[in-house]
């Protein structure tokens, strides 16, 4: 599936705005055919937005179940003769969609796109009715997982991840026109050697008999630097300008379907950053140079809009990343909006791209986030069916993000149970799925503190070790000296594995404005001291090739005794004001950038 775009042969129309919206507490709408006409009893709802915080109503905020969205739209009259597609960038966590009275598609998974050809159902110049039945219930067979428990006051949604289950239409919905003879998919893989570059491309076309594929690579000034014909091939780029962290450079690859008389049937543009990624020993190399990740685990999370994409917040968050000297982040704990990846491509930020497989650890959840008594991997909990959903989530993430130069590493899960035979069996094939989908990038998963070196049975499959550690917070709380000793001991053991180590989480909850002369947990001073302690540990270990603080900003979670108005481990508050740690990190990361450290 290709991302919607405007080109000389394609057009797109954004369907954002106010949609009709109705919660369906009894799941009655499908049988009653609510898609067959205007939604009755509906309120208005913004798209894109998580629906949860828009109503001043707890029963909306915490709602799980069926959710109906509907709007009408007009197919541009100029689209006569075109193929018309309805494209959702995401629907969290699943959706079924109707156009007028006809069901056109269903999709499982809350963070990847899906689309349907609706040409036969619509008439250019006329209106169509789009109805989406979104569902945000989590089960043992969803990614992420959850379960419904019966309580004295009714059913409750339990889940094991530490962020609020925001849901709805978080990203744009599009009507798209493409030619019938069309480019259907495109993969680019780039190489670098002695100052020259290569771009290997593979394209797929549909209904394209009588068309040849022509590709043109242009530099950022629009000058043609290479051309080729054929559905796949290699473009040589002598004296290439590489894409590099902090120094983005994008070429434009145009793929065209051209008929015998030279008429262009379809044209698709793909930005291309020429760069290489390689794991060698304990080093992580980008363009053959050792790369040190400095940045954050983030969240798509803002007041009011929840997990919705917003360009204004995107620009501001990246400005803060630049201000603080970050060069990278992880899309914890799900695929982010494609706008985020495009922006990272253009601005030279490096991304660890994560599947929404978070909370596959009922032991951890039982201990910390509530919901006890489940075995993670078992026929009745996370099982083979879950693994198929997980595998599909990996394939969809790679299919969506494979051409982004900013993406250098796949994370196929965050903090799953990984110290049991069940975990080993569950994950072994998933690493194969990731490598089959993308043989060019390293693959890893994020290891939890409960599965330390010597106990973890899944890290053997990973190219890079990604560790989340909270020495000085969840353990050795307030005792940074003890934390430093234990952390140093554990990290040295991992270093013995001979793989690069990225510390993908370390952090301390911090109430902005809480100050303390002595290093007290929750104070701004403690967060600074905690980070300093961690940095001493990392700087003493050669195998550590990255530090990503948890978290960039405070974020919403479900309520509970562990969280005060959400998770407060942000270096910025939820409204993006700096805590003291932001200035401390800025000093360290900016010094590192200028080469005075490491
Ligand atoms: C973790 C999780 C992250 C949590 C964090 C915390 O290990 O990966 O989702 O938010 O810890 O703050 O406890």
pLDDT tens, position by position, 481-513: 999 999 999 999 999 999 999 999 999 999 999
Residue nearest to atom 3 of ligand 1 (CA): 162
Going from the Cα of 265 to the center of ligand 1, the distance in angstroms, rounded, reads 49
Q: Is residue 586 part of a domain?
A: yes
Going from the Cα of 275 to the center of ligand 1, the distance in angstroms, rounded, reads 32
> Residue 353 in contact with residue 256, Cβ under 8 Å?
no
Q: What band does 64 get if pLDDT is binned at 50, 70 and 90?
A: very high
Query: How far is it, in rounded angstroms, from Cα 23 to Cα 29?
Result: 9
* E strand map for 243-306: 251-259, 264-272, 277-280, 283-286, 289-290, 293-297
> Residue 62 in contact with residue 559, Cβ under 8 Å?
no
Q: Is residue 145 part of a domain?
A: yes
Q: Which of 550, 556, 563 to mutate to test the pocket of ligand 1 (most atoms within 8 A of CB)?
A: 550
* Region 564-583 average pLDDT: 97
State the chain's mean pLDDT as an integer: 96
The verdict on whether omega for the bond into residue 9 sits within 30 degrees of 0, i.e. cis, is no
Query: How far is it, in rounded angstroms, from Cα 459 to Cα 286?
Result: 22
Q: Which of 415, 508, 566 to mutate to test the pocket of ligand 1 (most atoms within 8 A of CB)?
A: 415
Residue nearest to atom 6 of ligand 1 (CA): 162
Query: How far is it, in rounded angstroms, from Cα 44 to Cα 70?
Result: 10
pLDDT tens, position by position, 101-160: 999 999 999 999 999 999 999 999 999 999 999 999 999 999 999 999 999 999 999 999
pLDDT of residue 368 exceeding 70: no
Q: What band does 387 get if pLDDT is binned at 50, 70 and 90?
A: very high
Its domain, for residue 120, covers 11-178
Looking at residue 153, which CATH number applies to its domain?
2.60.120.260
Contacts of 60 (CB under 8 A, 6+ apart): 23, 51, 52, 54
Asked which of 242, 275, 308 is the last residue of a domain, the reply is 275
Handedness of CA 64, 392, 354, 273 (dihedral sign): negative
Q: How many domains does the chain have?
A: 3
* Region 195-220 average pLDDT: 97
Ligand 1 atom with the smallest distance to the CA of 368 is 13
- Which helix or strand (DSSP H or E) is residue 105 part of? strand 102-108
Would you call 444 helix, strand, or coil by DSSP?
strand
Looking at residue 214, which CATH number applies to its domain?
2.60.40.10
The percent of residues in the chain predicted with pLDDT above 70, rounded, is 98
The DSSP secondary-structure symbol of 79 reads G
pLDDT of residue 544 exceeding 70: yes
**CB of 411 sitting under 6 A from ligand 1:** no
Are both 268 and 322 inside the same structural domain? no
Between the alpha carbon of residue 250 and those of residues 234, 340, 352, 560, 578, the distances in Å are: 17, 16, 19, 46, 32
Report how many helices (DSSP H) and strands (DSSP E) the chain contains, helices first: 10, 32
Query: How far is it, in rounded angstroms, from Cα 403 to Cα 56?
Result: 41
Q: Is residue 5 part of a domain?
A: no
> Residue 162 in contact with residue 361, Cβ under 8 Å?
no
> Residue 175 in contact with residue 12, Cβ under 8 Å?
yes
Are both 187 and 170 inside the same structural domain? no
Going from the Cα of 434 to the center of ligand 1, the distance in angstroms, rounded, reads 24
Rounded (5°) CA angle 522-159-173: 100
Are both 166 and 186 inside the same structural domain? no
Tracing tokens 């997990």 back to the chain, one arrives at 307
- Taking the CA atoms of residue 5, residue 6, residue 11 and residue 16 in that order, the dihedral angle to the nearest 10 degrees is 60
Q: Which of 468, 469, 527, 549 to mutate to test the pocket of ligand 1 (most atoms within 8 A of CB)?
A: 468
Are both 224 and 86 inside the same structural domain? no
Rounded (5°) CA angle 154-160-166: 75
Whole-number pLDDT of residue 364: 63
Are both 389 and 246 inside the same structural domain? no
Q: Which of 22, 1, 146, 123 is nearest to 73 (CA)?
A: 123
pLDDT of residue 367 exceeding 50: no
Phi, psi of 213 (to 5 degrees): -95, 125
pLDDT tens, position by position, 236-295: 999 999 999 999 999 999 999 999 999 999 999 999 999 999 999 999 999 999 999 999
Going from the Cα of 368 to the center of ligand 1, the distance in angstroms, rounded, reads 10
Asked which of 155, 178, 201 is the last residue of a domain, the reply is 178
Are both 270 and 373 inside the same structural domain? no
Whole-number pLDDT of residue 597: 47
**CB of 550 sitting under 6 A from ligand 1:** yes
**CB of 469 sitting under 6 A from ligand 1:** no
Q: Is residue 428 part of a domain?
A: yes
The length of the chain in residues reads 598
Query: How far is it, in rounded angstroms, from Cα 424 to Cα 426?
Result: 5
Going from the Cα of 281 to the center of ligand 1, the distance in angstroms, rounded, reads 28
**CB of 414 sitting under 6 A from ligand 1:** yes
Q: What band does 519 get if pLDDT is binned at 50, 70 and 90?
A: confident
Query: How far is it, in rounded angstroms, from Cα 148 to Cα 122?
Result: 39
Going from the Cα of 532 to the center of ligand 1, the distance in angstroms, rounded, reads 19
Which residues are part of the catalytic machinery? 415, 505
Are both 452 and 335 inside the same structural domain? yes
pLDDT tens, position by position, 435-471: 999 999 999 999 999 999 999 999 999 999 999 999 9
Residue nearest to atom 10 of ligand 1 (CA): 162
Are both 259 and 357 inside the same structural domain? no
Q: Is residue 282 part of a domain?
A: no
The total of other beta-carbon atoms located within 10 Å of residue 102's CB is 12
Are both 463 and 433 inside the same structural domain? yes
Q: pTM for this structure?
A: 0.97
Q: What band does 596 get if pLDDT is binned at 50, 70 and 90?
A: low
Whole-number pLDDT of residue 598: 40
> Residue 80 in contact with residue 124, Cβ under 8 Å?
yes
The DSSP secondary-structure symbol of 34 reads G
**CB of 510 sitting under 6 A from ligand 1:** no
Q: What band does 595 get if pLDDT is binned at 50, 70 and 90?
A: low
Are both 432 and 518 inside the same structural domain? yes
> Residue 245 in contact with residue 349, Cβ under 8 Å?
yes
Pairing relationship of beta strands 43-47 and 17-24 according to DSSP bridges: antiparallel
**CB of 548 sitting under 6 A from ligand 1:** no
The verdict on whether omega for the bond into residue 586 sits within 30 degrees of 0, i.e. cis, is no
**CB of 415 sitting under 6 A from ligand 1:** yes
Contacts of 356 (CB under 8 A, 6+ apart): 109, 110, 111, 143, 144, 333, 334, 335, 393
Looking at residue 579, which CATH number applies to its domain?
3.20.20.80
Q: Which of 567, 570, 571 to mutate to test the pocket of ligand 1 (most atoms within 8 A of CB)?
A: 567
Q: Is residue 382 part of a domain?
A: yes
* Region 23-51 average pLDDT: 98
Chain centroid offset of residue 95 CA: 19
Going from the Cα of 71 to the center of ligand 1, the distance in angstroms, rounded, reads 37
């Amino acid at each position: 599936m290709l991302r919607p775009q405007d080109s000389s042969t394609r057009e797109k129309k954004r369907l954002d705005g106010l949609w009709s919206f109705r919660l369906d507490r009894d799941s009655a709408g499908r049988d009653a055919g609510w898609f067959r006409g205007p939604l009755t009893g509906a309120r208005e709802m913004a798209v894109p937005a998580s629906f949860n915080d828009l109503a001043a109503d707890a029963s909306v905020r915490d709602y799980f179940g069926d959710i109906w969205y509907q709007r009408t739209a007009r197919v541009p009259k100029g689209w006569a003769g075109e193929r018309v597609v309805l494209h959702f960038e995401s629907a969290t966590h699943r959706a079924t969609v109707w156009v007028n009275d006809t069901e056109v598609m269903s999709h499982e998974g809350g963070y990847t796109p899906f689309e349907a050809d609706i040409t036969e159902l619509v008439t250019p110049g006329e209106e169509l009715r789009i109805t989406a039945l979104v569902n945000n219930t989590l089960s043992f067979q969803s990614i992420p997982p959850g379960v419904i428990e019966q309580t004295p006051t009714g059913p409750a949604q339990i889940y094991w991840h530490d962020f609020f289950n925001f849901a709805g239409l978080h990203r744009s919905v599009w009507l798209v026109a493409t030619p019938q003879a069309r480019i259907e998919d495109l993969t680019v893989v780039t190489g670098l050697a002695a100052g020259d570059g290569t771009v290997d491309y593979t394209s797929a076309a549909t209904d394209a008999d009588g068309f040849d594929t022509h590709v043109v690579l242009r530099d950022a000034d629009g000058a043609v630097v290479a051309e080729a014909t054929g559905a796949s091939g290699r473009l040589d780029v002598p004296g290439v300008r590489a894409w590099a962290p902090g120094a983005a450079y994008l070429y434009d690859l145009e793929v065209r379907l051209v008929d015998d008389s030279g008429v262009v049937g379809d044209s698709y543009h793909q930005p291309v950053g020429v760069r290489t990624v390689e794991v060698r020993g304990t080093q992580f190399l980008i363009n053959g140079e050792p790369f040190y990740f400095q940045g954050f685990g983030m969240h798509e999370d803002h007041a009011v809009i929840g997990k919705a994409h917003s360009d204004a917040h995107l620009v501001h968050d990246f400005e803060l990343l630049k201000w603080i000297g970050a060069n990278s982040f992880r899309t914890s704990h799900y695929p982010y909006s494609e706008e985020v990846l495009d922006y990272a491509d253009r601005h030279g930020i490096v991304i660890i791209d994560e599947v929404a497989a978070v909370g596959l650890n009922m032991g951890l959840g039982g201990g910390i986030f509530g919901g006890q008594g489940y075995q993670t991997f078992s026929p009745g909990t996370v099982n083979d069916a879950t693994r198929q959903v997980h595998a599909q989530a990996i394939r969809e993430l790679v299919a969506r993000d494979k051409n982004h130069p900013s993406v250098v590493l796949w994370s196929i899960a965050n903090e799953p149970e990984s110290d049991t035979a069940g975990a080993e069996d569950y994950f072994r094939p998933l690493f194969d799925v990731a490598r089959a989908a993308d043989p060019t990038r390293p693959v890893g998963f994020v290891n939890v503190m409960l599965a330390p070196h010597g106990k973890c049975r899944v890290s053997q499959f990973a190219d890079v070790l990604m560790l989340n550690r909270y020495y000085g917070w969840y353990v050795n709380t307030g005792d940074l000296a003890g934390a430093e000793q234990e952390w140093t001991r554990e990290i040295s053991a991992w270093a013995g594995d001979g793989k690069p180590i990225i510390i993908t989480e370390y952090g301390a909850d911090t109430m902005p404005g809480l100050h303390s002369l002595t290093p007290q947990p929750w104070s701004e001073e403690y967060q600074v001291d905690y980070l300093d302690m961690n940095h001493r540990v990392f700087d003493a270990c050669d195998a550590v090739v990255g530090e990503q603080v948890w978290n960039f900003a405070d974020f919403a979670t479900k309520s509970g005794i562990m969280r005060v108005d959400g998770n407060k481990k942000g270096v910025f508050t939820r409204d993006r004001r700096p805590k003291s740690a932001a200035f401390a990190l800025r000093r360290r990361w900016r010094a590192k950038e200028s080469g005075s450290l490491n």
